Structure 1
Amino acid sequence: MRGSESSSNERLKRHIAVKQYGKFTLTEAVRPSLDLQVIPQEGFRFDSYKDDRSRKEIPLLVAAVSREKLFDVFMRVTEEICRDAPLVDVVLETSHDSNGSAHMDLRSEEMDPVVARSKLWDFADILMDDGCTGIAVIPHISPVRELQFDEHKLLIVYGQRETLNQARKVLEDEGVAENPGLKVITDGEHLHSTSPEFNQRFREMCYAFGADVGWE
């Protein structure tokens, strides 16, 4: 039994150590399942999301971007969809201390977009490599639009066609191609990675954005 357990642990370690699939490099935040239900690859696709409250279909674009350009693409899309917004809301998302069963959203409202982008750069480490941290940027502008950089390190843009096309242009400029049949890591089972250091770093990020909940 011990031999079998040891063999399984070694297999898991080897699997987690794999960071690259073809030309696609993962961050430290997530890994596909051991049986590779989804093989990570770069690309984007258009989709839709059904809002539970309004029952409306909301158009979206989801993108998987290789690590070496992921954060730059995120920041470029952020700047593009916030270009004409005087203020933005930032939502910090965490599943720390929840055993992955739930997540908590902490909101910082009405930030100057330039200040918000500067703080995003300050916390690029946790946003890239913590599998229990995500963030959303929501411009104060009509029509409603949102950019989510989730804990799986996917970029998800919600909005009307014009907004999605803004994101598409950035992605294509960065060499990320549209793939209508793209399978992203959340389309299969997957593994998240975090650490106590990232838990503390998340709290620091909350303080920096003014979105803390009274942690001591």
Structure 2
Amino acid sequence: MSFLKKFFTNVFHDGQIHEDQSSFEDLSEAQLDAHLRIASYGGFSLTDAVRPSFDLQVVPSAGYRHDVYKDRATGVEIPVIMAAASSDTMMDVFVDLLEPLGDQVDVVLETSHDRNSNGHDDLYREHIDAPVFKSILYDFEDMLLNDGCTGIAVLNPNIPLELQFDEHKLLIMYGQELGEFEEILNSCGLRRDQDIKFITEAEHVHSSRDEFHSMFDELKYRLGIDEIY
């Protein structure tokens, strides 16, 4: 399957195209193919999982910012750090960010492989030793970095913190005390920028491949997951 076709297999599955005209409309195949092949912007390298809009409503860059998540049902506000790292350092940053979660974690795999519309399925694994989990991550590094239909969340129920590595390959940290996460981000060379915009905040496209779906099933097996949560 060509690079172009990889991107346009269920490409707008997360509903980023609304009533406004898409920047991808009326492009020639050559223009589209050229845009989707651009893998870096100003030294920031993208994975194959996602690409920004043709008109670059958001130019991808490295950094992080503080934000707040508000639970609509309870009204509770939870501090959030959102971060983007270049593809060449992304997995190492993710693994380093696992440290505040302790020696044993719960893992949630997120998949939209079998969906033709918005949303994803969550698959839950409780109580996995962190060193074992980190080893498995590196075994599946190619799929985790480059599959736009796979995300992963990690938490420890005894520690009120959660770390997400989502389908867009953003790193998202939730919790009341995020200082240790921020120290790790800084030590990895990422800097706080409250004006940074992320690829999710504008039109974008996802990519997946058939072999990634198969690898996802293998990852489920390695993690001991056999049902949707």
Assess same fold via TM > 0.5: yes
Distance 2:27 2:170 in 1: 32
Residue 160 of structure 1, aligned match among 161, 176, 182: 176
Residue-by-residue CA offset, 1:162-192 (whole Å, 9 max, x unaligned)? xx21111111112111100110000111000
Residue 123 of structure 1, aligned match among 140, 143, 149: 140
Matches within 5 A, 1:20-169: 20-78=40-98, 80-82=99-101, 85-142=102-159, 144-161=160-177, 164-169=178-183
Distance 1:57 1:159 in 2: 10
What amino acid is aligned across from residue 108 of structure 2 in structure 1?
V
Uncovered stretches (5+) of structure 2, i.e. residues with no partner: 1-24
Distance 2:172 2:65 in 1: 10
Distance 2:216 2:186 in 1: 31
Deviation of the 1:86 alpha carbon: 4.6
Uncovered stretches (5+) of structure 1, i.e. residues with no partner: none
Residue identity over aligned pairs, in percent, reads 48
TM-score normalised by structure 2 residue count? 0.85
What amino acid is aligned across from residue 40 of structure 1 in structure 2?
P
Asked if the contact 2:69/2:80 (under 8 Å) is kept, the reply is yes
Deviation of the 1:49 alpha carbon: 0.7
Distance 2:80 2:26 in 1: 43
Moved more, 86-95 or 56-65: 86-95
Residue 196 of structure 1, aligned match among 210, 213, 227: 210
What amino acid is aligned across from residue 176 of structure 2 in structure 1?
Q
Asked if the contact 2:107/2:124 (under 8 Å) is kept, the reply is yes
Asked if the contact 1:171/1:177 (under 8 Å) is kept, the reply is yes
Moved more, 44-53 or 22-31: 44-53
How many residue pairs match? The answer is 204
